[in-house]
Amino acid sequence: MFVKDWMTTDPIVVAPETPILEAQKIMRDNRIRRLPVVAEGKLVGMVTYRDLIEASPSDATTLSVHELNYLLSKLTVKDVMSKDLVVVGPDDTAEHAALLGAQKGVGGLPVVHKGKLVGIATEADIFRAYVAILGAKEELQRITLRDVDVVAGTLREIIGVVEDAGGVVVSAFSIPQKASDLRMVVLRIRSKHVQPLEKALKEKGYTIHR
């Protein structure tokens, strides 16, 4: 699953000279929280709604309304944007983008190809990708196994047991268990009845997680 398959293409962008009040309005009107900043076709920064709010004077200021409006009219995106950019490429995997975003604490990653902005991968985009990967929107049976020692051939064996019992495994993945080297294995299966599949797995020595 690649970033290019799930990114938002043709993202709304602003220029560095865009007034912050205009950038705020663009975000509100389009219900977005971040804007790539582009100059002469090149990505030069990223500005978030939080950046714009923090740049505005607080309610405790002693400035008059006239002074506030004058001050805000002089502030532009380039005054508050982040230049330390975390980017991904369109051929990077969704897993890489999700991990990078989590490590860097950013909710939207510009997608750059040959120096040009081609999209943006947001938290919502990555979430949609994982929903599709896991088959969560399909009406599938789910079986979760616990205390599985995942070694070479383990998942192949589990899938074989399920398919021999009449099920079709649509997705299979494992997740770590706390304070253990063993893992939980989650199966999404196309089958009318899950009981025969669980019985076959138990007979093979696997433990069903309830």
In the chain, which residues fall in CATH 3.30.2130.10?
141-208
To the nearest whole percent, how much of the chain has pLDDT over 90?
49
Candidate CATH numbers 3.40.50.300, 1.10.10.410, 3.50.50.60, 3.30.2130.10; the one for domain 141-208: 3.30.2130.10
Amino acid at 194: V
Cα 83 from chain centre: 21
pLDDT (mean) for 148-164: 93
Q: pLDDT category, 60, cuts 50, 70, 90?
A: very low
- CATH code of 3-131, in short, is 3.10.580.10
∠ CA 162-149-126, nearest 5°, is 75
pLDDT digits (tens, 9 = 90+) for 37-46: 999 889 999 9
Tell me the per-residue pLDDT of 68-120, one tens digit each, with 9 for 90 and over. 566 666 789 998 899 989 999 999 988 888 889 888 888 889 999 988 899 99
How many whole angstroms separate alpha carbon 55 and alpha carbon 174?
44
Crossing angle of helices 65-74 and 20-30, in 10° steps, is 90
Question: Is residue 56 predicted with pLDDT exceeding 90?
Answer: no
